[in-house]
Amino acid sequence: MYWFINDDRAILEPQNDIFATALLVLGFVIFACVVSKTYIAHQDSSFALENYEQASLIAQGIAHSQMLQGSRQDLMSAEKLDELSGLHADPQILSLFFDSFSPNVNFQVDISTEDGEYAWQIRKPASSFSSVGQVAASVPVTLELNPMQQVPGTLTVKLFKDRWNS
Amino acid sequence: MKAISKFLRDERAWVDFILSRTALILASVVVIAAVYHFAVSIQEVNSQKELDLLSTELVSYIDKAGSSPDELNITYDFNKEYLPYFQGQQLEAMISSEYVVVNANINGRPIISAKTPAFRVYPYSYMALCNDLRSEYGSNGSMVEPISANHTDIIGYLTSRTREVNFNTSNPVYIQKTFIYFTDNINVEKIGYVLVYQ
């Protein structure tokens, strides 16, 4: 270091401006990288936020749907969930369920009791879900397992979205 | 030969000077152009974001109505006051059964924002819906006059009737959740639709 500071030959002196420009370009490139990274992070969070609201509204719509209603308006019938979920789902009822929603919206519904003993999954038939973004929203529900037994549970809507279709 | 020899022995370094200054000028031009382009891109991104805000807000109102278990009426106003890039600009909104599109022209460049509502949309009034259903099925699809048809037929018919409808962004938009009742002569079922009209 001492040798470098006391070197009076001035080899670098004529190219000072080139080094200064190189530093400026480097600084600008780093600045652009930081800004674009921040923009991508902001895009991701706004994508999640926008679609979370939609997923949440779908979840609320399903939670209050008359198709899944139990003996009371605030109850969700396990018997009706059985008809809609799994491999033996009734295609007619499943079609009526998903036809209430836009055909451009791909989602699946997971419903489970709080203790995890019972779980149902409602999926659109013949859907591939080959999308980039996934956003999920949950709402609490009360499941009516039978007329004598009502248990708390969660209804989760998993929304599958392409970035361009956000 | 003499000229080359003279050139090689010339120690005034003018070539070095010209080359380094030219490189410096070129680098400065590139940096200034990049900074300018960056500023313009940021402005475009901001105006796109503002337009997205408007279309997302409208879609959110449509989804809110769609998620309601009962019939519901909402009035929506395009709030352009808090969008600085679109002050005094003409905004166009188009709604079809599948998309909500808001577009604008900023300095001759078109900016488009399209969003998908989660629920089924029919961009006409309740009267138009009733008239369309009555002309096709002979009943208007209300609770007292359910349609004798399959729900997929009804959806297919309404989708084929739907065109892209232009909305005036200066006037309020009416959003109405309604149900179409249909029967297979044993059970009466219903399917929800969100009507959007002015």
CB B122 within 8 A of CB B154: no
- Please count the structural domains in chain B: 1
CA quadruple B168, B101, A41, A137: dihedral positive or negative? positive
Asked if residue A41 is part of any domain, the answer here is yes
- B42 within 8 A of A38, measured Cβ to Cβ: no
The predicted pLDDT at position B40 comes to: 84
SS3 for A78?
Answer: helix
Instruction: Determine, yes or no, domain membership for B33.
Output: no
ipTM of the complex: 0.77
Range of the domain at B145: 39-197
* A118: in domain: yes
Residue A105 lies in a domain: yes
Q: Token pair of B24, please?
A: 């410096």
Q: Does B62 map to a domain?
A: yes
Q: Is A71 on the interface with B (CB under 8 A)?
A: no
Could you tell me which residues are beta bridge partners of residue A110? A121, A156
Q: Which residues of chain A have pLDDT under 50?
A: 164-166
Can you name the residues that pair with B92 across neighbouring β-strands? B103, B168
Count of domains forming chain A = 1
pLDDT tens per residue across span A26-52: 998 898 899 889 988 988 888 888 889
Is residue A84, in this structure, part of any structural domain at all?
Answer: yes
Best probe of the B interface among A57, A68, A80, A158, by most B CBs < 10 A, is A57
Task: Kindly state the tokens that stand for B140.
Answer: 């208007």
**Cα of B1 to nearest chain A Cα, Å:** 30
Q: Residue B29 domain-assigned?
A: no
From first to last of the 198 residues of chain B, give the pLDDT tens digit.
788 888 888 888 788 788 888 888 888 898 899 888 888 888 888 888 888 888 989 999 999 999 888 888 999 988 877 777 777 778 889 998 888 999 888 778 888 989 999 999 999 999 999 999 999 888 888 888 888 888 888 999 998 888 889 998 888 999 999 999 998 888 888 888 999 999
For A141, the domain range is: 23-161
What does the block give as tokens for B198? 């002015």
d(CA B129, CA B122): 8
> Nearest chain B Cα to A64, which residue?
B69
